[in-house]
Structure formats: structure tokens, C-alpha cells
Structure 1
């Protein structure tokens, strides 16, 4: 090309080619899809105005350059040295000519050139204090036959939010959108890919295209190192669609100051806790759970001999054992490891803790390297560590020997806390707050029996399993699972047994149809059935679906789930599950010395598993009492006119609720606070659950746009066969019933239950299932323990099971091998 024209690859200097051309050249070099262009230098246009021969020569050069970049029509744009700059964009001040044919390119360039000296541009420069008139270079760019076009900002120029990209789109060319002739449609794309549109119905682009445009804007921001304002166009449809970047310039409006780099890693995981707190969790539930974990585990490490000064220094660890991500509860894994690291022997106990918590993937080495004391490097440090281990070991042994007495004391305090105190139905706000404080002081601060047993269970279960696997290989692992079956006194299995007994009574009395049509009054005249039903509610009335969530409705208020389970069992022909044979130790371990060592260890671990499950039922009763106290406080606040309904307290925290009763409140408008939380919960309900493991960089401000997730690993699988963790031996072939909410869905007796996660409140569904397949969980999950107790096959940890297995499909489950197969 001549000295009057710069090809795209030479237009990199804004001092010569102008800001717009230099940006386009940079984008082209970085691999962006940019329309072909060249640059007409301003001095050439100036010379041609006064010299006809020079103009004819320049016209030939321009036509040749246009032909080289491709057939027309063309877009002719200005490219001033200050245009599209960091401080001043000059957006819309220069003239742009579109759909220009090849013979008219020079004429259009002269018009655009002249626009650089007009009144509007001079006024803009004066307002921005950007100097006097300056001749612009001219960009001649191939026109794009756009199906849709528009502008996009990699950060929100109105709110200043850097995490949100904003898009304006219209059909056809984007010039009418840029000059304000049409409104188009507006999209907001958050960092996690959530798209919102105004108006509601997209016409110009699809959501997928909006996400691509947002990505394009963010790529431009990465290229130039600052938030960008881009123009884009889309041609074609389907596989032929092409997203093209027309220009990019810095956003010159004031944005929020960028956050300082923060590489700190935080890992959240809900593999196990999702059983207790599935799905959305109210602020009241989360705050009560988080506060309980804080108080309980502080007391636990003190019980094992950790010095009070060390506990106090790690206050933030205990305060943040849990996290709430988009309304869902997670473990903050790093803090659990830090808490465990206060005890000697961290490396060994870490593996047991991961098994107990159902954690498939250990923490990244980057994080674990900073947790716990460094390994002792000299003799004195080693002996000090041994002394610590010995001290905690003796403390643990003392607690193990006293466990029966500790449990008795705990049960006495529990019973007193649940039965003593004022009548909740008539208590005032002050009395109700005092009742909660008593639960806090007498139980949460003295949660000794469950904690000691849980820790012993963690160690015993892990050590006994490791021992059997070491001595008997895979057969030892299967034997270990079977050994947990048929203990007979696990309270978690009792509801299913009672439901089966009630179903038998209803079947014998031929009462099923009457019970279904007439409800509970149909039990009148059948005192044995009515008494058994009332006895169930008396003992297990707090055991409902999502029972640890304070917002859940207990069976005492709505027994419909229980009635449905009884009816389903009553219509099922009487049957007996195969009894599991007694464990054959001799067949597993022929060495009598090994048997003598393994049997008592496994028997002890088995008792700890049983006690762990039974003591968790007592936790259900405490949460049930807390629910009643908090809702009674809501009743009083509503009566005083501070809130609208008693259940509004679910959108407050425990601290806020107590402050309202005890005089420490920071706001006089509880209604406004409740409305804000309700709105946040409503928005969170529209989004799918985040992944079970989240890894975040920097301070983990909990909002959807802050999430960074890892895709779930489907494990060993084919299209029809997948392998996960077998928890309860047995084989079953039957129809799959995919259930997401047992309160509104049920299964036919004999179906195989397929669920994302379960909790103890699912027992009414368990009672009629022939096998269980769960996406989440571990060997010590509630679903695994109850399945072993009920003697039905169970597979847990099968990622994506509810999406992979069609509802109603015939499947085969092997609870020992951990296989699930979809049959033709």
C-alpha cells in the first residue's frame, strides 16, 4: 500500500493511525474476529482537498485498498489520536458512514474527516479539556451483514460493578441502538453466568449468545488491562453463526476501585452436611447451626485437653466451621482441618475425618501446607509432640472409659431441658428468650457425649476398616460393611419398623381405603391403630423431612407423610426381608491371632456407629424444641406489631431474634430486614444448587458471582453402568423412582429409591423401598446406616444419579459392589 494508507498490521501506533485503528490492530493480532480494515491517513485527505490530481490518485489507492480487504459495502469511521482513549472516548462525536460502496469510499472518508472540525466535536473537547481540533485518521472496514448487533460493557458503567457485564442488543445493524433511535433489549451477565434480560422476552439474541458476548467483552478487558466498551455483530444462524468484534475502547465512566489481588484459597464442601441441611436454608437455621457448631466444637477440643489460650486464638476457626453459599450450607473444610490440627497426630486423624465427612477429594496441598504445626525436626520437638499425643491419648482414653456415664448425664440434661420451663404456648418474649438460653448453656456448651462418641466413632470406624482391608483386601471392606448390619437397636431404623407394624394393622383391619378417603378420623373405632399412631408422633414427631431446618413442618403439625407411608405399606403384600447371615470371622481371617485382635476392635467400632446414630436422634429433638421456642418468639413479636407473621422470624438470625427480646437490637425495622432476606431467598430459589465442592480465591464473600466451581467427577461409568460406593450388601432389580421432595412425591412399595440426598426424615420413603441409590453421602451417612439396618441394598456417592437414571426405568443395584445398571 502507499504512504497514504496503512494496512491493518501496520496500524498499531495511535499517534499515527488513531486510537480506534490501533485498538482494532491489537485485537486482530490477539486473535479476535475483527472485520478486515485499512487506515487512510489524515494528511492524505487534507492534501486531496486542495489538489484535484492528488485526489484522483488517492481515490485509485483507496479503491485498490478496499478491494484487497474484500468486497463492499464498507463502514467508514474516524480514528482520532485521542479517540477511544482511556480518559476520553469521543463516543458518537465523529460521523460514521455505513453501507458505503467502493466508488464512494473516498467521498465518505472526506465527510468523516470534516466531522472532526464541527461544532459538536469542539464542544466535547472543550467540556473534557482535551485540547484543540485534530485531524482524525479514517478507518475503512468491511461491513458485516448483521442479524443482530449492539454494544457490550465488560463492567456495569451505571452501577460501577466490575463483576457484571452489560449488553444492549437489537436486530440488524447496531447504529440505531448506538445513536438512541431504538431501545433494543438489555442483558446483565454476572460472573457465574447468570443472565437477566429486560424486557423479559429476548428477540435479538439468545441467552447462549448473550453469554458469548459477555465472554468476548471480558476477553477484550483482559487484552487491554481495563474494562472495555465494545461493539459487536452476529451473522448467520445455528452452526453458521459468527460473533464479530467491531471495536473496543476503554470504559471512561467511574467504576468501583478494583479489589487488591487476594490469592488465599478457601474450599467449601457439602458432601456430608447436605444430608442434614439440603437445599435452601433459612437465615435462622443457618445461624443456629453455625452458632451450635461454634459452641460445641470449642467445648470438644477443650474436653480433649487443648489449652484455652489456643482455643481463643483460633476463635475465627470455630466461628466459621460452616458457610452459606447462595442459601445452601457447606463445610468450610480448611477450618475443620485447622480444628483437627490442634490435636496431635493430625496426619493420621485427617484421613479418618475425611471418611466420616464423606469428603472424596482431600484439600489441595497448597492449603494443607499451611495447616497444623510443622513436623518436629529435632529430638526435643519430637518428644514434645509425643508428650502432647500422650496427654490427649490419656484424655481420650479417660473419656472412652467414662462414655456410658457421660451419655447418662447428657440424657438427663437433655430431658430436663426439653421438659422443664414455661409452657411455650403462654410464655412471653422474655421467658422464651430465657428458655433458649437454657438450651444453649445446658446442652450446646455441654455437648460432651455426642462429641466424644463421634470422635471415637471416626477413629474406630477408620481403624477397624483399615485393619480388615490390610488383612483381607477387598473382602475385608465388604465384610466391614456387612458387620454394621442388624444391630437391632439403632433408633434411626425404628420409624421404618413402626411404619411397617402400623401398615400391617391397617391391612388386617382393611382400613386403607377409609384412611385414604377419610383421613385420621377413620382411626376412630380402632384404638390399637390410633394408639400406635399417637405413640409414633410422641416419639418421632420432630423427625420430618429436612428435620434440622427450623423452617420444616414437623409431623406433629402435618402427619400426611406418615399417613401416606402407612397406606403404601398397607397395600403392599406382607413380606419378609432376607435375614443377613451372622458374620463369618473364620472364613475371613484364618489366623486366630488376627481374629482375636480384629473382633473386639470391630465390635467396639460397631457400638460407636450405633451410638452415633442414636445420639443424632437426640439432636433432632433439641432442634425440634428450638423450632418451637423460636416460632413462639415469632408469635410474640407479631402480637407486638414488630413483624407480620410468626414464621417471619425464619428470616432473622438467632442473634437478631435474641437481641429483639433482650434489648441489644441494632435495627428498629425488623420488617425491612425480613423483606431483604426474603427477597434474597426468593432469588436463590431460582438458581440450581452449586456444586458439592467450591474452591474460591480471596475473601469468600458469599454470593453467586463469587463462586468458582469444579465439575463433578462421574467416576467409573458407561452409558448404562456406573460404580460408586456400596454401603449395604444385597442385589435388587426393580423400577427406579426418582424423588427430589418426599413431601410431594412418593414411591410404590418395591420401587428403588433414587435421590440426590436424604436425611432421617426420609424414613417414611425408606420403609417401602427395595433398594436405595443416593448421589451424595459416605459409608457413615444416615442413608447407608439405615439401609444396612433395614437390610436393603444401598449405593451412595453416585454423582448425577437423578439426572442419569430415568424415572420409571428398570435398574439393577448391587449394594456390595456399588454398581447401578440401567436395564433395557
Structure 2
């Protein structure tokens, strides 16, 4: 091995050797050169590894192992058996002894912390290493270049270097550690800085084993000259949010590496950082940002004397420009997944797909600018929305967060890339095409588009439903009349959709405007006030349904539930109460937009798991609703003490409309369920006729015929092959229903989505609060009886029929959802912490695991 491979590079004074040090060590050397506080150390250059592979005859194997997992496993094993030259080991141990008795040995990849990929967490670090064991720790770091995780990352990113430097540093025994983001990675705001901190070593935070304290700081507003703005930022940093909870455990250096131990009693409930320390740390972060020329992600420690030291700094702008490939069509289950939790039936989809496409499809724009494809499609029976357009409609004003409701419809990797960019302009050609078509076709006539009158249109429509639905029953009527009844129902569905789509948009609009106003005017109280102010007012029919279910459960005996599960009539007070409940709420189902989904009234046994869950908890939905309204009034009083004049008037207007449309979107779904129940009953009457005539096996088989087929059969007697066709489609439906569909598709293939392999899962926090509990994965409401008080409910998605289970759950984790979904509204009303859009949650989490759910930060920690 040549002498150039043996030479060590000092961390301080590296000079022209920065490129040989790898991303992590090179970044620290730049910090040290700028007199920023960095623990001393040295670097084993990549040439040392290259020379060792050559001497051992492993160079060719290393080349194959770069992306070949089998070759990588072989190389890791053979590298572990290599004996390092004695002079090399002696040089390393001597240099390590000069640093101190306990060291940190960290990988420093040549492509690490770069502009395209960060490689964060892909390679090994070994902590608490005594000087004599440094050679073995270096080999461990080298081996991590070919770990399964690193190979998978290189395959996914199509990049990476085939060599590795290793950094050996003094190990500081910190009083606390953490990470600083000089821009907010959760929102994309360049005005906000985020600090996360834990007691002891930061590895507890990085690995996800310990849920950290969370702090948010804000810089002064933009618009100042750049030089003035930097000075102002250092002077006027404002701590606007502190999420501090009990930290019962900490990682500390041990003889064999970090060990987990109980946090001393005097620290368990104490904030890890004071406001003064936060500002001091943030100013260090601003210096790093200025040095890197970009926002930074900085790992830090505070030593026992109270001084901050920097362990790593990488640019958070890492990531490619957000995708806008017109040939790459993106499909998503988000939004649709809550409404169709099971595959769509041929009958329901053939009735609804043309109508929905008429509302949301722009064929000319899609064909000319967005790669073609319809607005909606089925994949393995599940509905998907063409989300390509949102890649083009998305934009990011300089330093501001992008529109969150659009971000929810693109894959997580793209979402993170959007947040990291400073500014991205929208695709003006797509906007222009949509506006042109809208005006040429006068599309505004299809919607109730005025935010100040949409609710009035709904009031009139609700009155119409209440008046007309009792007249639309199809039982006992002639075939021709029932066919006309289907048309009348579809006219009502079309009118509903024209109102409902705008109600959804207005709920999002006023929520976002209120959130922005609170962030600007009362930043320190933003989250608590938003949670209490933007709530449903009394009258949420989902909550009313759950309260009625709770009352019904109080009357149920074990014998009553057994009879109900067997679909037998229940006698006495419970039977009478059940009939009353079903008469008012029996139209609800677990997959409410699926027209033929079973409803409670037709299959009341579906209530049994919900009733059992109510019996298992002492929580009362009425009391929850009353407490929420009390919190709303208290928050409104606080806001009136904080704001005056036009700001207060504006805030009150936004609160009024946000609450109005939150209530509207909840109650619209209640009435839509009732409308679909009425239409389903008419369609099932055709099924009864088909069974009597012998061309279907069961009345429910009409669900597996398309509307054109069913209509031609009942109107013109065209029944050939329908029995066999329905049978085949039912089998295909059952096959697809047993699978969890991918959240995103690229063309016809599932889009690659990285599922975290650490102990921390992330998503979108929709209901604040923290809870620790036992995981219970539910595949359907039928599994609800297994939920115990305080369990963490984990599911693919929920709709209103699932929400009675929230009274039993300690927290909720979902793979699909949004900030204003029905589950989100009810979770906030019940005070249940909830996180949605957690990719792979039902596969990553298992029954019996202990987790902590943080609904404010959108994080789940596995213990």
C-alpha cells in the first residue's frame, strides 16, 4: 500500500484537500476554517480504501457490488476478514490518542451532502470508540458503503461514489443534542427555522428512538436589502413555538457504544433549550447558511459548559427540480382513497365516472400539455385521479410555503423537493389552457362557485333532498318508472357534486387564509388558536351519529349483540332503539362514495364492532363537542384581546367562513350517503327482478353489471351472459379487495415511494397532541372490536362510518387523508392526535408495537 494512501488529513487546515475528505468531513473542514465551533479530528482519505481493495484483489468485486446486492453481501464479508497493515493501524491509533479517550468514527461519502442527493443516514457511524479500536470502526464504516440500504439508495437515485472517506473526531459528551434547519422542512417557509433537541447523544433523535423537543423560530420579514436583512435576522430572531414534553430516556456514551438510560428526574420535564440558547444556536445556523450559500441542516451538541459545537452541516436544498415531464402521467389514490376504500363496483363506477369527469376533466389540456389520459381511471378496481395537472399548477412564491392542498396530491419525494426550493413558477401554459376552456365552455355554470353564496345553495338543496327523497323509493313500481327514478337520482347527484366540490375548495381556502393570518399576526399562539378556532360549530351530523351510536350501545346486552351479529331481530328496548337508529342513520356505510357499498340498514350486523368499541370506552362524543365549543369561545376571547381593528375583523370573518364550510362538508356527506342509499335501493329492486327471472344468482350481483348492461336487460330483455359476467367480475372484485393498492402510479406502474426503515415515520399531522400506545392495525370496521382504549388505530383510510372508533383510540395513523378530511375534523373534535399520509403504515406497523404519535409534527416513533 503506497504512502499517499496512508496519509491522514487533519480536519483543521485541510486546505486544498477538501475534495478528498467526502461531503461530511469536507463540510466540517469548511466550518472549522471559518472559525465555527467544530470538534477536532482527522480524515482517512478514500485512497486508503481503494488501495486496500486493490491489495486484497477485491476491486472488480467492489465494482459489481456498487448496485448488485449479492456481490455487495460477499464484499462486506470479505472486507471484514481483511487484516490492515500494522504501520497503518499504528498511525491511526497514534493520531486517535491525541484526540482523546472516546471518539466518533463517521463515514464521509464522496457524494454525501451534495446538491442532488444527501445520502443522509445511508452509511455507518460508530460512537464511543477508544483509540485502539479505531481501525475496526473504520472498517465498519467502509463496509456500510455496500450495505443493503446504501445499495438500494444508489439504485433509487442512479448515483453515488464507489469509495468512502472516514472521519475520526473527538466525541463530546453532550448535555443535549439535536438538529437545526435554517428553513422549515415541513412547510417550505424560508422565514422559519426549526430546532429539534433531546437530552444526551443526538443518535437517539436521528434513529427515531426518542421523540425530541421541537422549537420554531422566525426571522424578520423579507423586503430589506440583503446585507441589512442578515443583520436583522441575527438581532430579531423570534421564538414562536415550543413543543416540550417529558423526555424519559436519553442516549449516553457507553463502553460498547451508546446506551439508553433513564433521564435524570430534574431534566425529564425541563425544556432542553432556553430562548436565549435557541437564538444563539440559530445565529450559528445563519453563519453556516451564509458560508454554504444555501439553507442548511445542521447537527449540533451542547457540551457540559453550555457551548455549542457543530457535528455536520448539509444544504437542505438537496433535490432535483420538481418534475414536470409532460410524458409522465401521475395518478394518485389520495382524495379518492377515503371515498372508495374498496374497489369500485362496475355499476357504481359506470354511473359516476362520466359525471365526475364532466366536472373535473379538461381533455384538450390533458391531451396537449399533460401527456394525455383521462381525468379518472381504475387500477385493479380502485379509482385514481390524474394528478399530473397538479405538478404544473403548483407554484412556490419566494421563501413561502407552496399550496398545501396541491402538495397532498403528489408523491412524498416530490413534495419534499417542492418545499426545499426557494421559488418555483407555475406552468403558465397549463393555467392559460384551463382558463380558456373554462370561459369557452362557460364551466362556471356547472358549479356553485361563489364562496359567499355556496352555503345558501346547499341550504336550498338540503331542503329539496328532505322533501323529495321520501318520494323516490322504487319498491313496487313498474320497470319504466324505476328507470326514470334512476335518472332523477342522478340529477340530484349531479347537483350535489356541483355544490360539494366548491364547498371543499372553500373549506380549504378559508382554513389556509386563517392559518396565514394567525401566523403573521399572532405567531406564538398560531397552532393552539388555529386548532381551537377552526372547528366545526354545533350540528356536525357525523358527531350526532356517533352520539346516537353511543346511546344505543348503552342499551345493548351481550345477548343483544350476539343476536345482531347473527342478523336476528333484537327484542325489547334495544330492538326499538336499534330501529329508531337505523331509520335515521342506517344509510351510512364504510365506503360511502361506492354506490353499492353495504349500508347499516341493510346489514345492521356491521354495527356490532362499533357498538363494542363504544362499550369499551368512557368517552362521550357529546361531552367532547361541548368542550370543543368551550375551547373555541375561549380562543376567540383571547384573539380579541390580542388583535384590534381591521386585523380582528378580518380574522373573525375568516373564522366564520372556515367553520361554516367545515360543517358544510361534513353534513353534505351525511346527506349524500342518504341520497346514494335511496338510489341503491332502486337498483337492488332490479336485482330482485333478475333473481326471479333467473338471469342473476343474487340481487346484489347487479353491482357487477355496468349501467348500460343493466338498463338494456330490464328495458329490452338483453340478458345473455349477464349471470356469468357478474360472477367473473365479482371474483375479480374480491381478488382486488384483498390487496392494498399503491398510493401513486406512474403510467401503469406503481410509482417508487421510499418507506422509511428507521424508528421514525413521518406524514401530515392533522390533529395536534401526543399519545403513546399499542398499535392496532384495522383492515376494516369489522376489526374494530379488537380496539382497546388507548390503542393507536392504524388503517389505510377512514370515512365518517369509522369515526366512532376514534372515541376508543388513543391516536390515529392513516396511509391516506388530508388536513380537512372527515377523519381530521372528527379527530380534532375529539382531541385525538392523528397523522395521515404515512406511506406503508399498515405494513410498517404491527399489532402490539409501542409507538408515540405526535399529531402536531406529523411523526410516529416506534419504541
Q: State TM-score, norm by structure 1.
A: 0.55
Instruction: Look up the match of 1:259.
Output: none
- 2:572 maps to 1:525: yes
Instruction: Look up the match of 2:462.
Output: 411
Mapping for residues 453-464 of structure 1, pairs under 5 Å: 453-464=503-514
Instruction: Look up the match of 1:372.
Output: 431
Distance across 2 between alignment mates of 1:799 and 1:454: 24
Q: 1:355 to 1:618 in 2, by over 3 A?
A: farther
User: How far is 1:271 from its partner?
Assistant: 1.5
User: How far is 1:785 from its partner?
Assistant: 0.9
Instruction: Look up the match of 1:595.
Output: 648
Instruction: Look up the match of 1:607.
Output: 660
Mapping for residues 10-49 of structure 1, pairs under 5 Å: none
Instruction: Look up the match of 1:740.
Output: 779
Instruction: Look up the match of 2:115.
Output: none
SS in structure 2 opposite 1:468? helix
Distance across 2 between alignment mates of 1:547 and 1:393: 27
Instruction: Look up the match of 1:749.
Output: 789
Asked if 1 retains the 8 angstrom alpha-carbon contact of 2:773 and 2:850, the reply is yes
Post-superposition Cα deviations, 1:653-685, rounded to whole Å, max 9, x if no partner, equal 2233223334497x8432343344345435545
User: How far is 1:800 from its partner?
Assistant: 2.1
User: How far is 1:624 from its partner?
Assistant: 1.5
Instruction: Look up the match of 1:579.
Output: 627
Q: 1:807 to 1:630 in 2, by over 3 A?
A: same
User: How far is 1:438 from its partner?
Assistant: 1.0
Asked if 1 retains the 8 angstrom alpha-carbon contact of 2:390 and 2:409, the reply is no
Q: 1:636 to 1:513 in 2, by over 3 A?
A: closer
Instruction: Look up the match of 2:342.
Output: 279
User: How far is 1:462 from its partner?
Assistant: 2.6
Q: 1:337 to 1:622 in 2, by over 3 A?
A: farther
Instruction: Look up the match of 2:695.
Output: 642
SS in structure 1 opposite 2:691? helix
SS in structure 1 opposite 2:384? strand
Instruction: Look up the match of 1:552.
Output: 597
Mapping for residues 696-735 of structure 1, pairs under 5 Å: 696=747, 706-712=748-754, 714=756, 718-719=758-759, 721-735=760-774
User: How far is 1:571 from its partner?
Assistant: 4.6
Asked if 1 retains the 8 angstrom alpha-carbon contact of 2:619 and 2:807, the reply is no
Q: 1:458 to 1:684 in 2, by over 3 A?
A: same
Asked if 1 retains the 8 angstrom alpha-carbon contact of 2:508 and 2:820, the reply is no
Mapping for residues 265-414 of structure 1, pairs under 5 Å: 265-296=328-359, 320-334=374-388, 351=403, 353-354=405-406, 361=414, 371-373=430-432, 399-414=450-465
Segment of structure 1 superposing worse, 471-480 or 534-543: 471-480
Distance across 2 between alignment mates of 1:312 and 1:819: 36
User: How far is 1:620 from its partner?
Assistant: 1.2
Distance across 2 between alignment mates of 1:501 and 1:614: 21
Mapping for residues 35-114 of structure 1, pairs under 5 Å: none
Q: 1:637 to 1:335 in 2, by over 3 A?
A: farther
Query: For 2:685, which of 613, 632, 635 is the aligned residue?
Result: 632
Instruction: Look up the match of 1:488.
Output: 538
User: How far is 1:402 from its partner?
Assistant: 3.2
Instruction: Look up the match of 1:673.
Output: 725
Instruction: Look up the match of 1:806.
Output: 846
In structure 1, runs of 5+ residues without a counterpart are 1-29, 33-261, 302-308, 376-383, 697-705
Instruction: Look up the match of 1:659.
Output: 712
SS in structure 2 opposite 1:372? helix
User: How far is 1:543 from its partner?
Assistant: 1.0
Distance across 2 between alignment mates of 1:394 and 1:645: 41
SS in structure 1 opposite 2:753? coil
Distance across 1 between alignment mates of 2:745 and 2:448: 37
SS in structure 2 opposite 1:673? helix
SS in structure 2 opposite 1:795? strand
- 2:618 maps to 1:566: no
SS in structure 2 opposite 1:544? coil
Asked if 2 retains the 8 angstrom alpha-carbon contact of 1:273 and 1:331, the reply is yes
SS in structure 1 opposite 2:431? coil
Asked if 1 retains the 8 angstrom alpha-carbon contact of 2:533 and 2:635, the reply is no
Query: For 1:451, which of 501, 507, 511 is the aligned residue?
Result: 501
Distance across 1 between alignment mates of 2:584 and 2:535: 24
In structure 2, runs of 5+ residues without a counterpart are 1-62, 66-324, 419-423
Asked if 2 retains the 8 angstrom alpha-carbon contact of 1:413 and 1:443, the reply is no
User: How far is 1:472 from its partner?
Assistant: 4.4
Q: 1:633 to 1:313 in 2, by over 3 A?
A: farther
Asked if 2 retains the 8 angstrom alpha-carbon contact of 1:417 and 1:438, the reply is no
Asked if 2 retains the 8 angstrom alpha-carbon contact of 1:337 and 1:350, the reply is no
Asked if 1 retains the 8 angstrom alpha-carbon contact of 2:366 and 2:372, the reply is no
Q: 1:297 to 1:439 in 2, by over 3 A?
A: farther
Instruction: Look up the match of 1:776.
Output: 816
Instruction: Look up the match of 2:225.
Output: none
Asked if 2 retains the 8 angstrom alpha-carbon contact of 1:282 and 1:551, the reply is yes
Distance across 1 between alignment mates of 2:446 and 2:383: 32
SS in structure 2 opposite 1:435? helix
User: How far is 1:440 from its partner?
Assistant: 1.7
When Rg is computed on C-alpha atoms for both structures, the one with the higher figure is 1
Mapping for residues 493-512 of structure 1, pairs under 5 Å: 493-504=543-554, 506=555, 512=557
SS in structure 1 opposite 2:782? coil
Asked if 2 retains the 8 angstrom alpha-carbon contact of 1:428 and 1:636, the reply is no
Corresponding pairs, count: 518
User: How far is 1:777 from its partner?
Assistant: 0.8
Distance across 2 between alignment mates of 1:349 and 1:284: 41
User: How far is 1:606 from its partner?
Assistant: 1.9
Q: 1:478 to 1:707 in 2, by over 3 A?
A: farther
SS in structure 2 opposite 1:557? coil
Query: For 1:789, which of 818, 824, 829 is the aligned residue?
Result: 829
